[in-house]
Amino acid sequence: MSVRKLKPITPGQRFRVVNGFDAVTTDKPEKSLLAPKKRTGGRNSQGKMTMRHRGGGHKRRYRIIDFKRDRQGETAEVLSIQYDPNRTAFIALVQYGDGEKRYIIAQNGLQVGQKVISGEKATPEIGNAMLLKDIPLGTIISCIELRPGQGAVMARSAGTFAQLMAKDGKFVTIKLPSGETRMILANCLATIGAVSNSDHQLLVSGKAGRSRWLGRRPRTRPVAMNPVDHPMGGGEGRASGGHPRSKNGIPAKGYRTRSLTKDSNRYIVERRKK
């Protein structure tokens, strides 16, 4: 994987850094795995805006991803590595022996023609999904389940990975991308390897219009607002003072919002770093 810095032939390209897409092998998605994706513009079912700065953007179709990897013990061949407009990671199209095709999150180093398998028969190789209890200590993993059969919910975005630290009875201890160390049931699935497209963090849009293509609308600075619009608004001139906070008054820096009585607190061995 690599990135390319464009020549400054226009103002928008002067600082633009784009993905090299070296790992991507085709730009044609599998039609049977596409679904319509409706855009909300940040509105809920009542039509009220519940999320600001959303709207517009290019039309997309959702790629149906197999997060559960529930065809256990069956080998699938990687047909292609593809770009997915709905996520930062690349996805891999795999085909099973009976001809069924599925999309999975592509791991770093996954190659076309490679065979992948999930379940107890799997070995700790890139792209294979294994039970946490069967994975060797110190292994780099991603796409981790939180409950058996739920499907992958953790470490799914570009370049992320977790590390298996210890095993103790029916739990294993994992160090997550956030720095948090927590216990997870040993009979949950995880995929071997780090998620693909690790260079995603190096990309530079170059111009405001590219954010609009992605469905992001302009954001007004809170200090430029009036007191009626935001807790940080108002004042004479460029007023400073007060604490950074959200529109509904929750402090922005260092304030912990996690419930002290949350049931899953007992599974957290070490909190994430500030």
Is 98 within a domain? Answer: yes
Q: Which band of pLDDT confidence, cut at 50, 70 and 90, is reported for residue 2?
A: confident
Report d(CA 59, CA 19) in Å as an integer: 21
Report d(CA 15, CA 11) in Å as an integer: 8
Q: Is the pLDDT of residue 274 over 80?
A: no
Is 101 within a domain? Answer: yes
Domain count, the chain: 1
Is 269 within a domain? Answer: no
Range of the domain at 190: 3-201
14: CATH = 2.40.50.140
CA separation, residue 76 to residues 107, 170, 205, 271 (Å):
15, 29, 36, 38
pLDDT tens by residue, 226-254:
999 999 999 998 888 889 999 999 999 98
Is 119 within a domain? Answer: yes
Report d(CA 32, CA 14) in Å as an integer: 40
Is 246 within a domain? Answer: no
Percent of the chain with pLDDT over 90: 94
Is 248 within a domain? Answer: no
pLDDT tens by residue, 218-227:
999 999 999 9
Contact 153, 145 (CB under 8 A): yes
* Average pLDDT score, the chain: 95
Contact 25, 112 (CB under 8 A): yes
pTM: 0.92
pLDDT tens by residue, 96-126:
999 999 999 999 999 999 999 999 989 999 9
Is 251 within a domain? Answer: no
Q: From 95, 86, 82, 109, select the one nearest 191 (Cα to Cα).
A: 109
- Phi–psi pair at 3, nearest 5 degrees: -120, 155
Is 192 within a domain? Answer: yes
pLDDT tens by residue, 20-65:
999 999 999 999 999 999 999 999 999 999 999 999 999 999 999 9
Residue 120: alpha-carbon gap to chain centroid:
26
Q: Is the pLDDT of residue 156 over 80?
A: yes
> What pLDDT is attached to residue 189?
97
